[in-house]
Amino acid sequence: MAYGYGNRIAYVDLTRRKVKIRKPRESLLKEYIGGKGLAAKLLYDMLPPRIDPLSPANILVFAVGPLTGTGAPASARGVIATKSPATGTFNDSNGGGFFTSYMKIAGFDAIVFMGRAEKPTYIYVDHDGKFHFRDASQYWGWGVFATEEALREEVGDKDAKVAAIGPAGENLVKIAGVVVDKHHIHARGGVGAVMGSKNLKAVVISADPKNPRFELADPDGFNEYNRWYIKEKIFSEEYAWAKNGGTPSIVEWSNNVGVFPTRNFQDGVFEEWEEISADVLKRFRTSKAACYRCSIACRNLVKVKDPRWGEFHIDGPEYETIAMVGGSAGVGDFKAIVSLNALLDDMGMDSISAGNIVGYVMELYEKGYLTKKDLNGVEAKFGDPEAEYELIKMMAHRIGFGDIMAEGVKGIAAYVGGDAYKFAIETKGLEYPAYDPRGSVSMALAYATADRGACHLRAWSIAEEAFGELDPFTPEGKAEVVIRLQDLNTIKWSMVWCDFIAINYEEMAKYLKLATGWDMTVEDLRWRGERIWNLIRLFNVREGFTRKDDYVPYRILNEPLKSGPPAGKVLGREKFEKMLDDYYRLRGWDKNGIPRKGKLRSLRLTKEARKLEYPA
Amino acid sequence: MAYGYGNRIAYVDLTRRKVKIRKPRESLLKEYIGGKGLAAKLLYDMLPPRIDPLSPANILVFAVGPLTGTGAPASARGVIATKSPATGTFNDSNGGGFFTSYMKIAGFDAIVFMGRAEKPTYIYVDHDGKFHFRDASQYWGWGVFATEEALREEVGDKDAKVAAIGPAGENLVKIAGVVVDKHHIHARGGVGAVMGSKNLKAVVISADPKNPRFELADPDGFNEYNRWYIKEKIFSEEYAWAKNGGTPSIVEWSNNVGVFPTRNFQDGVFEEWEEISADVLKRFRTSKAACYRCSIACRNLVKVKDPRWGEFHIDGPEYETIAMVGGSAGVGDFKAIVSLNALLDDMGMDSISAGNIVGYVMELYEKGYLTKKDLNGVEAKFGDPEAEYELIKMMAHRIGFGDIMAEGVKGIAAYVGGDAYKFAIETKGLEYPAYDPRGSVSMALAYATADRGACHLRAWSIAEEAFGELDPFTPEGKAEVVIRLQDLNTIKWSMVWCDFIAINYEEMAKYLKLATGWDMTVEDLRWRGERIWNLIRLFNVREGFTRKDDYVPYRILNEPLKSGPPAGKVLGREKFEKMLDDYYRLRGWDKNGIPRKGKLRSLRLTKEARKLEYPA
C-alpha cells in the first residue's frame, strides 16, 4: 500500500457493464506520480496507435495524484485524459472544483472508462465505493446545470459530486469538455466528446471528506508544513493578484504588451479592453470562493442581470474566457461575456476554442467567405454578442453551419477551402489561447510543441518574456525557458497542482515526501517530468506526429499586428524554425522531432519506444 | 473540351445544399487520367491533414475515367475515394455493375460530396444532369435491396442506377461499403461509413446510354480496335477461367499452395475446401452475367434455397467472399456463404473485412477472451454459419459487442487488450484479404505497402509467385514485382479498368489514344502510374504514415502455418524487412518510407510536396 494514494484503479467497461478494481504497483505510482503522468502511462500501454478517438476502442481516464484532496493549497485538481478527437494526440485536461478531490477521498487514483454503453448511462460510485450503471436516457439533451442537480437528487446525496457532459459532448462537438461542479470544466481537446461517444452522461461520486480512503506517510509533518506554506507563501504578496482580480487582471497586462487576441488575432490591442477588465468584474462581484480546501481562493462569484439573457449568479469568467469569448469576437461587453460563459458551461464547451471559432467565423463572414444564409440567418459581425450566442448554440447542437463549427477552426478551414486556412488560428487542430505569439515569441514555440496542440499551460513562458524581463521578440534562449517550464508543469499536473500555484521543485519534493514517504531530489522530480513529457511525445510520434505537425499558423508567421509594442512585426519562419531547432536539440530529439535513442535510454524509455514498431 | 471525358466535375455541398459544376482543365485530366488518379489529386488538394474522416470536413469522391462506359471490355468501373475512417489513409474503392458507367454517360468525370446533410438525404441526377436534394428519411434503416427498388420507383425511371448504403453505412461501421446495382460493392476502407456520416443514403442517376454525354477522339478507330481486342484477347483461352468458374476457381489454387485463410489464418489449407469450390458453385448456377457492356462476363448468377435463410437468386460469391466468409470462419457450406453474402450486400458491408472480423471473434471466443455473455448469447464457434449470421447482424447494427466489431479487428484488439493483437490480421487497420503471405511472401510486401492498408488489388503478385513461376518463400526480387504491379494497376484504376482484365501498357496506351487523342508511350503511362502512387504516398505521409505503419501482423511474421507447402515456415522479421528495404530503395524513398527529393523532382511533385509543411 502506497501512502498518498487510494491504491485503487477502477476499469469500467461500459460495453460489458463490468468493473474491475486493481491495485496499482507502487513502482507505477513512483515513476509516474499520478494525474497526467499516470494517465499518460495508462494511455500509452492500453491504446494501440490510430484508433478512432470517438470509437469504443478509445479510453477515457480520470486521474488524480498524491496531493489531490489533501488540503494542500491548489491541490483540488485532477485530470481527464484520452486520445483527443480534436487533435489525435494524447490529451490531458485539468480541472478544479470538488469532483476530483472526492474521487481521491473515495480512494481512487484513476478511473478508466472503456467501450461504449448501449444507451445513455451514468455511473454512480456510492459511499462504499461500489459502481452502479444507471440509465441516463431521461437526461440526454439536458444542460449541465440541470443534470447535476437532478443526479444529486436521484442518488439521494446532496453532497455528491458530479462530472457531466452537456449537449455539446452528446453531439460529439470536438470542443466539448467535461464539467464538474457546474463551472469547472476539463475543457480542452474534446474530452467531453469522448465521454459523449461512450454514451456516458455523467459520473457521480459520494464520499466523506472526514474519512478519506487514503493515508499520508507523515500526517503531522504534512499538516505542519502545509500550515507554514499557506501562511508564508499563499498569504503573501505573491498571490495578491488572486485575492484581488484573479486571472481577469491579465486583461490589462495583455493589452499593454499587445498580445490580446482581438477579432480573430487581427490585432493585439482591443480598444474596448477597459470594459471587460478586472475592475469591471469587481463591480459585479458578490464574493470570492475556493475549490476544495484551497487557500488561494481565486474564484470570483459575480451577479449579472441582462434583459437579453436573464440573471446569473455564478463563477465569473477567467481571463481566457474574457479574451476569447470577448476580444476574439470583438465583444467588449462584460455582462454579455458572463452570459455566454454560462451558456458554454451549461452546454459543456471549451470557452477558449469556442471564442476562437466564433472569431474565425465572424472574419469569414465579414470577408465574404460565408453568407448570412450559410449561417442560418445569423449576421456574424464582430462585436455582436447576440450573434455569438446564436453561433454557440448552433455549434453545441450541430445545427446548420454549427455542424461545421463543431469541428473546430481546422475543420471549418477544410470545409470552406481556398485560402481560408491562412487565418485559422490553431496548432494540431487545437485553437489558440489568448496570448498572441507575435508579441511574445516564446509562446509560438510553447504552442507548437505542447503535447495536446496549442496550449498555454504546458509552458506559460510569457510570464518571463512579455510580462517579465526577457526580450519578447528574440528567439534566443527561448527553447530553454519553454523546456524548463514544460518539465516542471508535467510534475505539477501529475501531483496534481493547480496552475495558479507558483511552486518549485524543492517545495513539491517536500510535499511529496510528507504525503508518500518517498525521498525525491529536485533532479529526481525534474527527470520524471522530462520522462513523462518524452513518453507523451512517443505516444504522439506513434500516431504519426513529427516536425510537420509542430507548426504555427500562417497569420502568426506572416501577418504583422497593427497595435501595441508588436505592431508591424511578424514572427517569421526563420525565427520560429530557429527556436524549434534549438528546442529539438536541447530535448535530445532529432531534426524531425523524434526522441533520439540516447535520450530514450537515459530516460529509461527504451522498452516503451519498442512499441513504436507496432505491432511486431 | 477533352475527348473521352464528360468534362464536368460536380461539387455537391450537402451542408449548404449547393451544387457547382466545373469544367476540369485538360492538363488535370491528362496528368491524372481519371478514377483513382483524379480522385487522388482532388483529395490531396482539398483535404488538409488530420481531419476526422467521419466529419463533414471529409469529402467523398465518385470518379470515372476515359474508358468508363465506352464498351471496352472490363471498363464498367469507377472508384469511390475518401480519407478512410478505417485506416486514416487515402482510400479508393473500385466497383463494377452499371452505376459508374451511367455517371460517365451522364457526362460526369467526378462527383465530389462535401459537408453533411442535416437529415437523411438522397441525391437524384435527372436526365438533364440536374441535381436534386431529396428527403431519404423514410429509407433510413432500410437494406440496400429495398432502397434501390424504392428509389427507382420514386424517381420514375426503371433504368435509373443507384449507389446506396445500408444500415452498416448509416451506423458508421468502419467496414461499410457503397453498394451499386444490388451486388456490386465499393467495399473496402469504409467508404459507406463516410457516406453515412454525410447523411447521404443514396445517389440515383438517370442517363441514356444511346446518348452519352462524352465523345471519343476517334470513334471508328476505337470500335475497330475494340472489336479486334475482344475477339483476339477476351475470347481467347486466357479468359477461360472467367467464362468457366470465375474467381471461385481460385479456391482450389489457394488450397493447393496453402494460402487459403482458415479459421482466422491459423491454417492455410481448409479441409472442407471442396464444399465451397467453383465446382460446387456451378451446381447452383443459373446463368452467367456481365457488367455494363463487358465482354468478359465473369459473373455467376446462382439460385440457392436454404431453410435457415430462405431463397436467393443473386450474384454468386467471388473468391474473396468464399474464402473470408467461408474459410476464415471455418464455414464449409456453400449455401450458407451465399446467404451470408446476400446479408452483407443488403447491409452494405465489405465481405473481406467481415469474414476476417468474424474469424477473429471466433478465435477470441474459443480461446476464452470473450464469453457467450459478452457476445449477446452467441456461441461463436468456428464452422457455425448461424453464429456468423448473428455476428454480422450485430455488427451492422452495432448491437452489443457488434459495436466493438464494427471498429474492425484493430479496434477489437484495442478493446480486448493484452496479447489479442497478436492474431488480429490487419495492416493500417484494414483486414487481410484471402492470400496468406506465409505461402507467398511477396503478398506481405504488397499488403504492407498498399496505399489503403492490406489490399490484394494494388499488387496481386501471388499470380507470379505461388500461382506462378517464382519461389514463394524467398524475398529476393519481390520488391521489383510489387512495384511493377502497383504502378501498372494505378493506371488501370485510373482509366478505369476492372482488375479482371490482363491488359498491358501498350494496349492501354492504344485505347487511351483512340478515346482521348493523346499520344502516350508506355513510359508516359508507367511514369504517370508511379507519379500517382507517389502522390498518394505523400497524402499518407502528410497524415503521419511512415515505415512503422508498413507492418505485417504478429501471427504472419512469427507463427508457422500447419499444412500445405508453407507448413512449418514463418515469414520472419528479417525476410520482411529485407523486402521493405528493397522496396523503399527501388521506389526512391528513404529508410523511413518518405519519398526523397530527387524522386519527387523527377515525378514533378515538388510543388505538391510543399504541402507536407502544413500550413505555412
Q: Does A546 touch chain B (CB under 8 A)?
A: yes
- Nearest-Cα distance to chain B for A382, in Å, is 23
How confident is residue A614, by pLDDT bands cut at 50, 70 and 90?
low
Q: What mean pLDDT is reported for chain A?
A: 97
For the domain made up of A9-205, give the CATH fold: Aldehyde Ferredoxin Oxidoreductase;  A, domain 1 (3.60.9)
Q: Do the chains contact at B549 and A549, CB–CB below 8 Å?
A: no
The pLDDT, as a whole number, for residue B615 is: 57
Residues of B in contact with A403 (CB under 8 A): 15, 56, 115-116, 118
Beta carbons of A57 and B614 less than 8 Å apart: no
Question: How many beta-carbon pairs below 8 A join chains A and B?
Answer: 150
Give a three-class secondary structure readout of A567-595.
ECCCCCHHHHHHHHHHHHHHHCECCCCCE
A417 — contact with chain B (CB < 8 Å)?
Answer: yes
Average pLDDT over residues A185-201: 98
**Cβ–Cβ below 8 Å for A548 and B613:** yes
Residues above pLDDT 90, as percent of chain A: 97
Among candidate residues B172, B68, B49, B63, the one with its CA nearest the CA of residue B540: B49
Nearest-CB residue to B554 (from A422, A424, A616): A616
Query: Nearest CA to A328 among A393, A272, A250, A401?
Result: A272
**Extents of the domains making up chain A:** 9-205, 254-431, 437-611
Please judge whether A615 and B553 are an interchain contact, meaning their C-beta atoms are less than 8 angstroms apart: yes
CA torsion A435-A436-A438-A442 (nearest 10°) is: 40
B380 touches chain A (CB under 8 A): no
Contact between A407 and B57 using a beta-carbon 8 Å cutoff: yes
- Residue A55: which of B46, B411, B417 has the nearest Cβ? B411
Asked if A415's CB is within 8 angstroms of B554's CB, the reply is no
A517-533 pLDDT per residue, tens? 999 999 999 999 999 99
Spell out the residues 6+ positions from residue A432 whose beta carbon is closer than 8 angstroms to its own.
A261, A265, A352, A356, A425, A426, A447, A454, A553
Answer yes or no: is the ipTM higher than 0.85.
yes
CA A50, A55, A59, A62 torsion-angle sign: positive
Query: In terms of CATH architecture, what is B437-611?
Result: Orthogonal Bundle (1.10)
| Residue B616 confidence (pLDDT) | 43
Over residues A112-116, the mean pLDDT reads 98
- Across the interface, of A15, A16, A573, the residue whose CB is closest to B616 is A573
A215 has a chain B CB within 8 A of its CB: no
Nearest to B114 among A85, A118, A415 (CB): A415
Residues of A in contact with B557 (CB under 8 A): 616
Q: Domain A254-431 is in which class?
A: mainly alpha
pLDDT tens, B493-524? 999 999 999 999 999 999 999 999 999 999 99
Please give the average per-residue pLDDT across A185-191, as a whole number: 98
The chain A residue lying nearest B542, using CA atoms, is: A548
Closest CB to B115: pick one of A415, A421, A613: A415
Chain B touched by A613 (CB under 8 Å): yes
Measured between beta carbons, the chain B residues lying within 8 angstroms of A57 are: 404, 407, 410-412, 414-415
Comparing alpha-carbon positions, the chain B residue that sits nearest to A172 is B55
Q: What is the mean pLDDT of residues A593-616?
A: 88
Residues of A in contact with B51 (CB under 8 A): 407, 410-411, 414
pLDDT confidence tier of residue A616, bands split at 50, 70 and 90: very low
Which of A15, A413, A553 is opposite residue B404, by nearest beta carbon?
A15
Place of cell 535520450: A599
C-alpha dist (Å) from residue A183 to A165, A340, A350, B303: 12, 13, 11, 64
Distance from CA of A205 to the nearest CA of B (A): 26
Residue B593 neighbours by CB under 8 Å, 6+ apart: B537, B541, B545, B546, B547, B550, B584
A454 part of contact set with chain B, CB < 8 Å: no
B45 touches A at CB < 8 Å = no
Which among B15, B85, B557 has the least Cβ separation from residue A403? B15
CB-CB under 8 Å, A52 with B85: yes
Please give the residue of chain B at the shortest CA–CA distance from A573.
Answer: B616
* A55 contacts B616? CB cut-off 8 A: no
Categorize the per-residue pLDDT at B567 as very low, low, confident or very high, splitting at 50, 70 and 90: very high
Question: Would an 8 Å CB–CB cutoff place A245 in contact with chain B?
Answer: no
Q: CB–CB of B403 and A56 under 8 A?
A: yes
Contact (CB<8Å) B56/A16: no
Which secondary structure element, helix H or strand E, spans residue B306, and what is its range?
Answer: strand B299-306
pLDDT band at A615 (very low <50, low <70, confident <90, very high): low
Domains A9-205 and A437-611 share a fold: no
Task: Give the model confidence (pLDDT) of B12-64 as tens digits.
Answer: 999 999 999 999 999 999 999 999 999 999 999 999 999 999 999 999 999 99
Nearest to B174 by CA among B268, B276, B279, B85: B85
Render pLDDT for B298-314 as a digit per residue (tens, 0 to 9). Answer: 999 999 999 999 999 99
Q: How far is A358 from chain B (nearest CA, A)?
A: 17
Q: In this predicted model, what pLDDT tens digit does every residue of A258-272 receive, in sequence order? A: 999 999 999 999 999
Between positions 154 and 213 of B, the ones with CB within 8 A of A are 174
Is B591 in CB contact (< 8 Å) with chain A? no
Q: Mean pLDDT, chain B, as a whole number?
A: 97
8 Å CB contact of B404 and A115: yes
Residues of A in contact with B55 (CB under 8 A): 174, 407, 411
Asked if the C-beta of B415 comes within 8 angstroms of chain A's C-beta atoms, the answer is yes
User: Is B519 touching A (CB cutoff 8 A)?
Assistant: no
In which element (H, E) is residue B194 found? helix B191-197
Q: Do A16 and B374 touch (CB under 8 A)?
A: yes
The answer to whether B404 faces chain A, any CB pair under 8 Å, is yes
Encode pLDDT of A305-314 as tens digits: 999 999 999 9
CB contact A433 to B (< 8 Å): no
Task: Flag the least confident range among A571-575, B217-221, B253-257, B399-403.
Answer: A571-575
> Cα Rg for chain B, rounded, in angstroms?
22
Residue B108 scores a pLDDT above 80: yes
> Distance (Å) from the C-alpha of residue B290 to the closest C-alpha of chain A?
39
Average confidence (pLDDT) over A398-410: 98
CA distances (Å), origin B25, targets A476, B30, B68, B110, B525: 48, 9, 19, 13, 19
Q: Which of A415, A452, A610 to mutate to test the interface with B (most CBs of B within 10 A)?
A: A415
**DSSP string covering A311-351, please?**
EEEEEPPPHHHIIIIIGGGT---HHHHHHHHHHHHHHTB-H
- DSSP secondary structure string for all residues of A83-114: E-TTTSSEEEEEE-SSHHHHHHHTT-SEEEEE
Spatial contact of A204 and A98, defined as CB atoms under 8 Å apart? no
